[in-house]
Chain A
Amino acid sequence: MIHPWLRLALPALLCAGSISPSLHAQASKRVTAPFVNPQQITIDANAPTTPFPHFWEQIFGSGRAILSLRESYRNDIRSVHKVADFRYVRFHAILHDEVGVYNEDEHGNPVYNFAYVDQIYDGLIANGVRPFVEISFMPKKLAFNPDALHPFWYKQNVSPPKSMARWDDLMTAFAQHLVDRYGIDEVATWYFEVWNEPNIDFWNGIPRDLSYFELYDHTARDLKHVNPRLRVGGPATAAAAWVPEFLAHTSANHVPVDFVSTHGYADDTVQDLFGTTENIPRDDRVCRAVAKVRHQIDASPTPHLPLFWTEWNVIGANNARDTTFVGPALADTIRACDGNVTQMSFWTFDDVFEEGGPIPRPFEGHFGIIAKGGIYKPSYYHFGLLHQLGDRRIANDAKNLIVTKAPDGSLILAAWNLVDPGDHGAPQTLELALHGVPANAHVSIQRVNDDHGNVLPKYAAMGSPVDPTPAQVLQLNQETALGPPAQTQLHDGKLTLELSPNALLLIKVQP
């Protein structure tokens, strides 16, 4: 079976001998320069539009709860605010023992302490983001199995509670405390997600699904009992799992559910995501999984539930998350997932992150868009470019382009040249013909590519310091700062764009 993108690209491939070796070498890899080159694209500014909510930049994941007390974490929140419409942050382990929520006195009676929870959430709110509360993991003294520790460096307990009554009491006290402290009008704008990835090693109930459903039922009812305006959801699974079973269960048992959440990464296997052996390029897997789950919800007893994709990221091979690859992969995901998902939470906003222990140097391919020490990766600038897209979309067949319209009538386009990690790619030329705008309309172009907004060569030129000083971090961020947009204009309604491998361009065309 020929992949749809290959069908589109066939005419180009027939005469593009220099770029074909990688095509056949690995069938599940994206084809290099899969488009006709040059590519001719027509855009009508007066074409019908559809709503284009910025579903990719409003929730981010982060390192676990306790890390949010750090100054570096909070500095990075403020930095992300400069480039993205950052509204919620989701992290693991608000109930981990280091946060100190649950203890038992000498008689075995529960003692709650929300001091750090308050400091953590206060710190988010003071910096303009709200908690997307992931309720995890199990306090050791509440654990059925105190030795059920996850292999992550911080060794969280992944056991079910020893007593559901005690879990209910904790959930009730937790929710009541939040409502008392922040007010129901505020907390009603938050989300409460039950656990993290219970289908893999983050949950050791037996059997995993049924024991998780029991945890979900109790938690959802506990929260709703405190206040029905609290929004609760699940199953927060890895690899897009369990959604039909979960919704069948909640529906059959009349358990409250306000949203469906699940995860999927470009690096997940096709077998894990879809249960098949198809060849699906890694770049396509996230949105294929999103579409799958959306269809599952549509077919469920509760078809109108919103879908929150609470973890995802692009291909991680070759430390790709530190490179210019992220932007094109992100833009392509936005293009392909639009319409099928309410929110996607990029895992993570920064590299203040310790799942594998303290990070020893800045560029190891970690998830964040800000590297350890506060260094802006290319992805930081990518989010900044895509944030500028309009809020209405104009349909276009091109697979390397998003066309949007801003409230002032200007056209705002994103164009990219996606080349997978390890591939060399080739420059791509886009010849745009724009209708519905003046034939000599003013155009501004911002770009992130190997030479713009790309810290890696600057870091290498600095001698690749393992432990950059604050002055070096500042210097790197100054060196990668994007200059003012290039200014040009349409000629006879046409615009030609040259895209180097993994370039991402943000083009504004004035009305």
Chain B
Amino acid sequence: MHLGTLHSLAFAATLFAGPLTLSTLAQDSTPPAATSTDLVIDAHAPTTPFPHFWEKTFGSGRAILALRADYRADLHTVKQATDFQSIRFHGILDDEIGVYDPARQTKNPGLAAQAANDASVYNFFYLDEIYDGLLAEHVKPYVELSFMPEKLASKPNSQHTFTGNPNTSPPKDYATWDAMMKALATHLIDRYGIDEVSTWKFEVWNEPNLDFWGGDPKQETYFTLYDHTARDLKSVSPRLQVGGPATAQAAWVTPFLAHVHEVNAPIDFVSTHVYANDTAPNVLHTNEEVPRKTMVYRAVKMVHDQILASPYPHLPLIFSEYNASYANEPNVTDTPFIGPWLANNIRLCDGLTDSMDYWSFSDVFDEQGVVRSPFYGGFGLIAAESIPKAALNDFRALHQLGDQRIALDSDSALATKTTDGKLALALWNYAPPTGIGADYTWPKGPAGPPKTFTVTLQHVPSNASVEVLRVDDDHGNAVKAFDAMGRPPGDLTPAQVEQLRAAGAMAPTEHLRLHDGKLQLTVPAHGLAVVLIGR
């Protein structure tokens, strides 16, 4: 069973589960007993800063998709929910953006193609339209400089398998690459102003340790790309912020920083990636079995410590991609599993990283081709057709947490204080996903026993008002409605889409009061509750 989730401070099982709990348990052949957790929280306890590092930046589908109306609608939704600051995506240099095409031709029907006679070899029209669209929502670009324009590629046939087949090869000559990087930076400063662009981040490439980079040997050739690019940007303005190595599986940070130090290349931040189903041999270089629950934390801690031991111990660390899975696993990213997993990562990673960038904000996303069903295990907070997932509601709820943290000895709770002095708690009940892999596993009941929290609050009025935001199997969970439809395999009707959008909406806030300074709350497995306590 799920004894691992039983809190050490729990001293008694809740004997009387609520009616909802009973009815859900009735489906299960072996009804799990509820566990209980007691918490004591002093509103006057010392606090530590608690920046919302998990909702500063999100990933998204590739650059060209940012022109789409549905992308922008979803962007607006997530901005409203999280007030996130920037967005990162691949492919701003892909040929479909048209930035570099020194020999563009125009073609009229029935006539031979002819040279386009462009004034410049650079075309920033789409790039501008993309960034304009972000900035209109007060979201900044986190500029991932990728991939290689075909006409600048050293290996024109070095194509990635993702939709659009971006070229992954090094530039055929660095003078041309340097000129393009400088032109790009100059253009951005001309258009948006250095005061704005100096607040952006420029990250060199994406996952050069995997098949996104065709240089050979990978590490050495990437370092060459980094050195050139960082120096190019800084030559345009030293205020531009540049970083790398943007590796998968938290790789290369130590050799990268040693290299940067050795050649005295500019660097403003370290970036790397991890996914919770990455393996310990790949990430930690150990033979442990690290569960999905803690893999991200282990990688963050490792890289944090590597930076501390490097010549640049104060460099910010950005995990510019992470999620509970690098694959499409519908039981993972589509379901309320995400809430407790996310909250627990926040609990563990606080103080170790400046930003963790959830990949991705929306399922306007087509790396593997055109999506045909909204619930296929896409990475996003919002499924196709703008259907909100439980993950969106999880982020929406966690956004309510304050910016000062009160220490708490629990692996299922966070306590924070808001700027107006209220307490904001997150309480969750982690359980592993109901299934793994690309095929959906139908739940046969709750994923584990419910957890009853008894929270004693000190230095708070003993009958203070309480608001509870819940996300779990029965709250803000579109997948439950999708399951009830029988998980239609093909295209949904407009009526079905409307039904799912409604089912995925945030559940209404519950209004309670403390009784004698105490609050008792039961959270089902895969459940997250954010509790706001008035004064």
Binding site for B on A (CB under 8 A): 69-72, 74, 99-100, 103, 113-116, 118-119, 122-123, 151-153, 177, 181, 197, 200-202, 238-239, 272, 355-361, 372-373, 466-467, 469-470
Tell me which residues across on chain A come within 8 A of B68, comparing CB atoms. 69-71
Write the nearest CB–CB distance from B193 to chain A, whole angstroms: 11
**Stretch from B120-128, B169-177, B296-304, B338-346 that touches the partner:** B120-128
The B104-137 residues at the A interface (CB cut-off 8 A) are 104-107, 109-110, 113, 116, 118-120, 123-126, 128-129, 132-133, 136
A360 touches B98 (CB 8 A): yes
Contacts of A123 in B (CB 8 A): 69
Residues of A within 8 A of B101 (CB): 357
Contact between chains at A115 and B372 (CB < 8 Å): yes
8 Å CB contacts to A: which residues of B330-377?
366, 369-372
Q: Is B493 an interface residue (CB 8 A)?
A: yes
Complex: chain A residue closest to B110, CB-CB: A200
Scan B62-79; emit 1 where CB is below 8 A from any A CB, else 0.
Answer: 000001111010000000
By a CB distance below 8 angstroms, the chain A residues around B372 are 100, 113, 115
Contact status B70-A69, CB under 8 Å? yes
The 3 A-B pairs with the shortest beta carbon distances in the complex, nearest first, are A100-B370, A358-B98, A356-B106
Can you name the residue of chain A whose Cβ is closest to the Cβ of B371?
Answer: A115
Q: Which residue of B lies closest to A365 (CB)?
A: B106
> Given the interface contacts A356-B104, A467-B191, does A72 sit within 8 Å of B110 by beta carbon?
no
Q: Are B369 and A100 in contact (CB under 8 A)?
A: yes
Please name 12 pairs of A and B residues whose Cβ atoms are closer than 8 Å in the assembled complex, sorted by A. Answer: A71-B72, A113-B370, A115-B384, A123-B69, A151-B113, A153-B107, A238-B110, A356-B104, A358-B96, A358-B98, A360-B104, A469-B128
Tell me if B491 is interfacial: C-beta within 8 Å of chain A: yes
8 Å CB contact of B369 from A103, A197, A469: A103
Which one, A72, A181, A361, contacts B493 given CB within 8 A? A181
Task: List chain B residues, Cβ under 8 A from A74.
Answer: 69
**In contact, B370 and A116 (Cβ under 8 angstroms):** yes
Identify whether the interface residues of B are mostly helix, strand, loop, or mixed.
loop
Judging by beta carbons under 8 Å apart, are A357 and B98 in contact?
yes
Inside 8 A of B366's CB, which chain A residues have their CB? 100
Residues from 122 to 167 in B contacting A, C-beta threshold 8 Å: 123-126, 128-129, 132-133, 136
Residue among B67, B96, B125 making CB contact with A467, cutoff 8 Å: B125
Docked CA distance A197–B370 (Å): 28
A238 engages B109 (CB within 8 Å): yes
CB of A119 within 8 A of CB of B70, answer yes
Known: A69-B68, A69-B70. A470 touches B132 (CB 8 A): yes
Asked whether B110 lies within 8 Å of A469 as measured between CB atoms, the reply is no
How many A-B pairs fall under 8 Å by CB? 102
Which residues of B from 494 to 527 have beta carbons under 8 Å from A? 494
A373 touches B369 (CB 8 A): no
Are A358 and B125 in contact (CB-based, < 8 A)? yes
Smallest beta-carbon distance A171→chain B, Å = 17
A100–B125 alpha-carbon span in the complex (Å):
26
- Whether A118 pairs with B491 at a CB distance below 8 angstroms is yes
* CB-contact partner of A202 in B70, B109, B113, B369, under 8 A: B109
Chain B residues whose C-beta falls within 8 Å of the C-beta of A467 in the assembled complex: 124-125, 128, 187, 191
A59-B106 Cα distance, complex, nearest whole Å: 25
Q: List B contacts of A181 (CB < 8 A).
A: 491, 493-494
A123-B69, A360-B98, A360-B104 known; 16 new pairs, CB 8 Å cut-off, are A70-B67, A71-B67, A100-B370, A100-B372, A115-B491, A177-B491, A181-B493, A201-B109, A202-B109, A272-B110, A358-B123, A360-B118, A361-B125, A466-B119, A469-B128, A470-B136
Which B residues are in CB contact (< 8 Å) with A360?
98, 104, 116, 118-120, 123, 125
* Cα-based distance from A3 to B187 in the complex (angstroms): 53
Chain A residues whose C-beta falls within 8 Å of the C-beta of B107 in the assembled complex: 151-153, 355-356
Among residues 370 to 392 in chain B, which have CB atoms less than 8 Å away from a CB atom of chain A? 370-372, 384-385
Closest chain A CB from B385 CB (angstroms): 8
Interchain CA distance A482-B31 in the complex, whole Å:
73
CB pair A197 B109 closer than 8 Å: yes
**B491 touching A373, Cβ below 8 Å:** no
Kindly provide the distance from the CB of A88 to the nearest chain B CB, expressed in whole angstroms: 20
Task: Give Cα A70–Cα B132 distance, bound, in whole angstroms.
Answer: 14
Could you say which of A116, A119, A357 contacts B104, with CB atoms under 8 Å apart?
Answer: A357
Which residues of B lie under 8 Å from residue A72 when comparing CB positions?
67, 129
In this assembly, does B97 line the interface, its C-beta being within 8 Å of a C-beta of chain A? yes
The docked-state distance in angstroms from the alpha carbon of A359 to that of B123 is 8
List residues of chain B with CB within 8 A of the CB of A470.
Answer: 132, 136
Q: Which residues of A contact B104 (CB under 8 A)?
A: 356-357, 360
A357-B98, A358-B98 known; A373+B129 contact, CB < 8 A: yes
Say yes or no: A99 contacts B370, CB within 8 Å: yes
| Closest Cβ neighbor of B71 among chain A residues | A71
The CA of A152 and the CA of B370, in the complex, are separated in Å by: 22
Are B105 and A356 in touch, CB under 8 angstroms? Answer: yes
Which of A71, A119, A200, A356 interacts with B116 by CB under 8 Å? A356
Residues of A within 8 A of B113 (CB): 151
Expressed in whole angstroms, the Cα–Cα distance for A358 and B100 within the complex equals 10
**A-chain residues with CB within 8 Å of residue B191 when the two chains form the complex:** 467, 469
B110 with A372: CB separation less than 8 A:
no
Q: How far is the CB of A272 from chain B (nearest CB, A)?
A: 8
- How far, in angstroms, from A152 to B116 measured CA to CA in the complex? 13
Residues of A within 8 A of B105 (CB): 356-357
Q: In the complex, A360→B118 CA distance in Å?
A: 8
Q: Considering the chains assembled together, what is the distance between the CA atoms of A115 and B372 in angstroms?
A: 6
Q: CB-CB < 8 A to A372: which residues of B? A: 125
* CB–CB B110/A201 < 8 A: yes
In the assembled complex, the Cα of A122 lies from the Cα of B68 at a distance in Å of 14
Which residues of A have CB within 8 Å of B370? 99-100, 113, 115-116
Query: In the complex, how many angstroms separate the beta carbon of A105 from the nearest chain B beta carbon?
Result: 13
A100 CA to B385 CA, complexed, in Å? 16
User: Across the two chains, which residue of chain B brings its CB closest to A154?
Assistant: B96
Closest chain B residue to A468, Cβ basis: B128
Least CB separation from B493: chain A residue: A181
- For A197, the chain B residues whose CB sits under 8 A away are 109-110
Query: Are A71 and B106 in touch, CB under 8 angstroms?
Result: no
Question: What CA separation (Å) do A361 and B128 show in the bound complex?
Answer: 11
- Look across to chain B and name the residue whose beta carbon is closest to the beta carbon of A316: B108
Q: How far is the CA of A99 from the CA of B163 in the complex (A)?
A: 11
In angstroms, Cα B119 to Cα A202, docked, is: 30
Q: A358–B384 contact, CB under 8 A?
A: no
Nearest chain-A residue to B384 (Cβ)? A115
For B124, the chain A residues whose CB sits under 8 A away are 466-467
Tell me the complex Cα distance, A152–B112, Å: 11
- Distance in Å: Cβ of B328 to nearest Cβ of chain A: 15
Residues of A contacting B494 with CB < 8 Å? 122, 181
Give bound CA distance, A272 to B108, whole Å. 15
Question: A202–B97 Cα gap in the complex (Å)?
Answer: 25
Q: Tell me the bound Cα distance from A202 to B109 in angstroms.
A: 8
